[in-house]
Amino acid sequence: MQAFTTMKGLVAPMDRANVDTDAIIPKQFLKSIKRTGYGPFLFDEWRYKDVGQPEMDCTHRPLHSDFVLNQDRYQGASILLARENFGCGSSREHAPWALLDYGFRCVIAPGFADIFYNNCFKNGMLPVVLDDSIMDRLFAECSANEGYALSVDLNTQTVSTPSGASFPFEVDAFRQHCLLNGLDDIDLTLQDAAAIQMYEARQKKLAPWMF
Amino acid sequence: MAKTLFDKVWDQHVVKTNDDGSVLLYIDRHLVHEVTSPQAFEGLRIAGRKPWNVNAAVATPDHNVPTIDRDKGIEDPVSRIQVEALDANCKEFGITEFGMDDVRQGVVHVVGPEQGLTLPGMTVVCGDSHTATHGAFGAIAMGIGTSEVEHVLATQCLIQKKPKRMRISVEGELPVGVTGKDVVLYIIAQIGTAGGTGYAIEFAGSAIRSLSMEGRMSVCNMAIEAGARCGMVAADDVTLDYVKGRPFSPKGEQWVLAEAAWHELHSDADAEFDHEIVFNAGDIVPQVSWGTSPEMVLPVTASVPSPVDARDAVQKEGWERALVYMGLEAGVAIEAIEVDKVFIGSCTNGRIEDFREAARVAAGHKMAANVKLALIVPGSGLVKKQAEDEGLDKIFIEAGFEWREPGCSMCLAMNADRLEAGERCASTSNRNFEGRQGAGGQTHLVSPAMAAAAAIKGHFVDIRDWEFKG
Ligand code: SF4
């Protein structure tokens, strides 16, 4: 997994609550058996006027010009500002894969759906939770300043604005450790293989019907 | 110390506690389907890993399978490759699979309980958010992403932080015509789609206990729509009666042992929850969703709301956008909304009891002229067979509905069953997100009886006033 330490990037605002994973990547793209290639179809229904199909060439598809990611000033964005309950709905990891493949490494929101939040960490992507009032400020600054960029530091757990304001955020120590070092957590868990075997031996006596 | 149901099951599955308080949680049952597993199997292959306990995993294809002409296979090549990948992966890694031509195939959350693969007190995971369904058995059942699917395959464990515990009690008697589906839609409308975020929810109270296992599964199924990590119901005699005698459930001496353990699967009388909510069953009437989020739900007797009445700016904007997408105007009576299509099925409402209820409504009636299609899709091959043995298929066909093969079908429209842009649907599924049942499709979530009634009348009606002819 790709490590995440610090980044500075152009910010795009997704100013709506409850953005679900069906919106982030519609179901027809879930038929792929790969982890990559979802970027062109990120937010497909909001981004394009026609209905996208897997593996189609997106370069000449008709665009909804007012959709935020289609605006010139947000091209190349790598940080997404979002609202409450971002990533709700299905457990599809295709959602973080699509965001990542598009170029986002960090999503900042007042709250995330649990499974989506968890899925981000497995893919070297950082979900940052900040208070509503701070989010309002970031959204306002972002829309007022073209080229608005934020710095995100996972070591110090802070988001910093161009004017020098800085906001702390919380991340579990274990998740921070894995993300900072790009660790594969299967390897980590397998270091506990003996404990798992011991657990199984005990359970087989206590609840043999489970096996 | 007094424990909640969740704590009892959780504590029993902790392999190891890490310094930061997270735990290595043992997973008893891993259900697998074709959409969220190919990249996980690929990961195992690349790393040269084998499944830790191959018997814990059971697979079935459901999202992509066609609901007609099964013998012709899957027409869409991309869908076909995904189902074939599941077949090949299960074969390569030695995982039991109920393939497309197996009568046991179906929606994974219908198949698990039906086969006795889901047992009280288990930890159950699946790369699918509606894994919450299995919590109806007093199990901890959680949806996971593909990386975690790989992690569970390789280690039989998950690294987890303990969620907070919430109890939602529904007390009293449910009015006639009000089902588990209405109860859960009502709850989500009250607490919101993020109301359960960070929590494991236990559904309790006399109204929940009065539900059949099918009804309890419908309730737990949609715990995820309230944002919860999982939903649970305590195990009781209803649970044990359902589990007994299923192909994978314990037999003989093992059953006796298991039964004794399962009687403990309830929250202790003085157990403490981080949050408690109590609803009155008598307040619940048949529910219909009007918008594009499962919290945008109203009693069938209500009218589409006006954004002027929204709680705050964010909700106002959400409502405005939903009204436009749904092609609805504020103030229109729910009962005046006409539908183009009807879908009865899915992991929320694709079980035998759901089809019995729908058939009771449809019996002796004919589908309305303005309805183009009423799709009846059993949750599994065995549900289909049982329904046919009971003659339900004939009732549906007689009423002008279509009786199909099992699968997810128009719940998410990954196969050929879908809404066209602008088509409005009464659906027994669980998500009314934009485009969920087809790009531009407009979904209204309802119970099976309410969906069948909408197919007959061509618009939503209050099932409590229904003229039963069967
Ligand atoms: S029936 Fe619908 S919600 Fe259930 S598993 Fe299938 S697609 Fe998901």
Cα–chain center distance at A45: 19
| Confidence (pLDDT) at A184 | 84
Residues in A 70-129 with any Cβ partner in B closer than 8 A? 83-85, 88-93, 96, 111, 113-115, 118-119, 122-123
Does residue B33 have its Cβ closer than 6 Å to ligand 1?
no
CB contact under 8 A, A20 and B433: yes
- Partner B, chain A 133-172, Cβ-Cβ below 8 Å: 172
Answer yes or no: is pLDDT of B470 > 80: no
Number of domains in chain A: 1
In whole angstroms, give the CA distance from residue B326 to residue B304.
11
Q: Is B357 in the pocket of ligand 1 (CB under 6 A)?
A: no
pLDDT of amino acid B444: 98
Closest approach atom of ligand 1 to CA B414? 7
Has residue A61 been placed in a domain? Answer: yes
Tell me what the pLDDT averaged over chain A comes to: 96
Q: Is residue B150 less than 8 Å (CB to CB) from chain A?
A: yes
Q: What is the pLDDT of residues B404-457, one digit of tens each?
A: 999 999 999 988 899 999 999 999 999 999 999 999 999 999 999 999 999 999
Per residue, the 3-state secondary structure of B290-340, as one string, reads CCCCCCCEEECCCECCCHHHCCCHHHHHHHHHHHHHHCCCCCCEHHHCECC
- Report yes or no on A135 lying in a domain: yes
User: What is d(CA B169, CA B171) in angstroms, rounded to the nearest whole number?
Assistant: 6
In a domain, A155, yes or no: yes
- Residue B20 pLDDT exceeds 90: no
| ipTM of the shown complex | 0.93
Per-residue pLDDT, A82: 98
pTM, two decimal places: 0.95
Residues of chain B with C-beta less than 8 angstroms from the C-beta of A211:
53, 55
pLDDT at B415: 87
What's residue B408's pLDDT? 97
pLDDT tens-digit map of A115-133: 999 999 999 999 999 999 9
B367 alpha carbon – ligand 1 mean position (Å)? 26
Q: A156-206 pLDDT, tens per residue?
A: 999 999 999 999 999 999 899 999 999 988 999 999 999 999 999 999 999
Angstrom distance (rounded) from CA B257 to CA B250: 9
**Percentage of the residues of chain A whose pLDDT score is greater than 90:** 95
Look at residue A92 and tell me if it is in a domain.
yes
Q: B318–A17: do the CB atoms touch at under 8 Å?
A: yes
How far is it, in rounded angstroms, from Cα B427 to Cα B292?
13
Task: Please state the rounded mean pLDDT for residues B341-351.
Answer: 98
Which residues span the domain enclosing A72?
6-210
- Is A67 part of a structural domain of the chain? yes
Query: φ, ψ for residue B109 (rounded to 5)?
Result: -80, -10
End-to-end CA gap in chain A:
32
Examine the pLDDT at B1 and tell me if it is beyond 90: no
The closest-lying atom of ligand 1 relative to the alpha carbon of residue B346 is: 1
pLDDT tens digit sequence for A26-75: 999 999 999 999 999 999 999 999 999 988 999 999 999 999 999 999 99
Report yes or no on A76 lying in a domain.
yes
Q: Tell me the CA–centroid distance for residue B107 and ligand 1, in Å.
A: 7
- B-chain CB neighbours of A185 within 8 Å are 151, 159
Measured between alpha carbons, how far is B309 from B331 in angstroms, rounded to an integer? 12
| Domain assignment present for A108 | yes
Closest chain A CA to residue B36: A92
Give the whole-angstrom CA distance, residue B182 versus residue B180: 5
B-chain residues within 8 Å CB-CB of A119? 145-147
Instruction: Identify which has the larger pLDDT, A82 or A55.
Output: A82
- Residue B403, pLDDT score: 98
Is A194 in CB contact (< 8 Å) with chain B?
Answer: no
B241-264 residue pLDDT tens: 999 999 999 999 999 999 999 999
* Residue A3, phi-psi category: left (phi > 0), alpha (psi -120 to 50), beta (remainder): beta
Q: What is the identity of the amino acid at B233?
A: V
Q: How much is the pLDDT for B166?
A: 98
Which residue has tokens 């419908």? B218
Mean of the pLDDT values across residues B68-96?
A: 94
- Of the candidates B143, B148, B200, the one whose C-alpha atom is nearest the C-alpha of residue B347 is B143
A61 inside 8 A of chain B by CB: no
Output the average pLDDT for chain B. 97
Q: Measure the CA–CA gap between B311 and A135, rounded to whole angstroms.
A: 19
| Each residue's pLDDT tens digit, B120-162 | 999 999 999 999 999 999 999 999 999 999 999 999 999 999 9
B71 has pLDDT over 90 = no
- A81 vs B contacts (CB less than 8 Å): none
pLDDT, residue B197, reads 95
Q: Are strands B297-299 and B287-289 parallel, antiparallel or unpaired?
A: antiparallel
Q: Ligand 1 within 6 A of B346 CB?
A: yes
Interface contact flag, A209 B78, Cβ < 8 Å: no
Q: Which residue of B has its CA nearest to A52?
A: B439
**Which of A84, A89, A208 is facing B431, going by the closest CB pair?**
A89
Give the gap in angstroms from C-alpha B314 to the nearest C-alpha of chain A.
7
Instruction: pLDDT band for B4, please (50, 70, 90 cuts).
Output: very high
Residue A74 sits in a domain whose CATH number is 3.20.19.10
Residue A1 lies in a domain: no
Subunit contact A88:B227, Cβ cutoff 8 A: yes
Residues of B in contact with A92 (CB under 8 A): 35-36, 145
Total beta-carbon pairs less than 8 A apart between chain A and chain B: 183
